[in-house]
Amino acid sequence: MMPNRTKFRKVCKGRIGRLETRSIDLRFGSYGLQVLERSRISARQLEAFRRVLSRRTKRMGQVWFRVFPQKPYTSKPLEVRMGKGKGSVDYWAADVRPGRVIVELDGIPESVAIDALQGARAKLPCTSRILRS
């Protein structure tokens, strides 16, 4: 997962802010996963999360992802001396602030939804909690 096109190939790293204020409630589904600490979720981690979720729900119901890896992170190759410019893009990630709802589910039984979210949240690099509406 990565954006189709961006204005700039590389961006400044920046800092992940404090508490999320906008995407903190369930908007689309009945169940969701809310992140409790600031984190950087890579596209690979999101894809692993999505796979576990779709397998555990047996592809029934509907899933909404509310985050997208739109920030490129660079790294220099191994055993390269300092300097000589910024490294090439290594991976894409989504910077997530505490309180952000990252995924929502609807149209599945509660036991299946909670089991799927518990299994899938093991793939994330941060602590999270399950929300019900």
Q: How confident is the model at residue 133 (pLDDT cuts 50, 70, 90)?
A: confident
Range of the domain at 53: 31-72+87-132
Please tell me the predicted confidence (pLDDT) of residue 9.
94
pLDDT at 129 over 90: yes
Q: Are 64 and 30 in contact (CB under 8 A)?
A: no
Residues in the chain: 133
4: in domain: no
Looking up residue 56, the CATH number of its domain turns out to be 3.90.1170.10
**Please, which residues have CB within 8 angstroms of residue 29's CB and are 6 or more apart in sequence?**
62, 63, 64, 104, 105, 106, 133
18: in domain: no
Q: Are 122 and 115 in contact (CB under 8 A)?
A: no
Q: How confident is the model at residue 90 (pLDDT cuts 50, 70, 90)?
A: very high
2: in domain: no
7: in domain: no
Please tell me the predicted confidence (pLDDT) of residue 18.
94
23-60: pLDDT as tens digits: 999 999 999 999 999 999 999 999 999 999 999 999 89
Overall number of domains in the chain: 1
pLDDT at 118 over 90: yes
Q: How confident is the model at residue 1 (pLDDT cuts 50, 70, 90)?
A: confident
Read off φ and ψ for residue 110, nearest 5 degrees.
Answer: -60, -40
Mean pLDDT over residues 92-113, rounded? Answer: 96
